[in-house]
Amino acid sequence: MRSIERSAALAATVLVPLLLTLLPLPNVLAVCDQWPQVRGRAATPDGLARRVRRWLAFGRGPWRSTCLTRSLVLYTLLRQHGYRPKLHLGVAGDARGFDAHAWITLDDRPVELPATVGSQYRRLLVHGG
């Protein structure tokens, strides 16, 4: 069973960032929302986040390891394991200089980020849950 879980996770790690380069975000989210769940022991959220960081660390392939690609893959893997994550997109700053960020929460707590990340950005989108 573990090999099925790993294969599905690896497929998400390759496919989701690739789709992000080809499709609008709502279409990519629709794919992420339909990702199949695996039965058996669920991995921990922080363990999945570490796996995503490790697998996307070198930015190989047609994508870069950005907060958006990591968050979309983590969102997909968390759903695969039966969790109900939320994807957040937010901005900070003004028209002359702003910063955008994507992050994942479970039960309104960020996964693998400081608890204050949500207060640092104005939310543009919250998806899932």
Domain boundaries, the chain: 2-128
Is the pLDDT at 48 greater than 70? The verdict is yes
Is the pLDDT at 64 greater than 80? The verdict is no
As given in the structure block, the two tokens for residue 49 are: 């986040």
For 43, the 3-state DSSP assignment is coil
Q: What angle do CA 73, 76, 80 make, to 5 degrees?
A: 135
- The pLDDT of residue 62 is 61
Is the pLDDT at 91 greater than 90? The verdict is yes
Residue of higher predicted confidence among 3 and 14 = 14
β strands within 1-129, DSSP E: 86-94, 97-106, 109-110, 122-128
Residue of higher predicted confidence among 58 and 88 = 88
**Would you place residue 52 in the very low, low, confident or very high pLDDT band (cuts 50, 70, 90)?**
very high
Kindly report, residue by residue over 29-39, the tens digit of the pLDDT: 999 999 999 87
- The pLDDT of residue 22 is 93
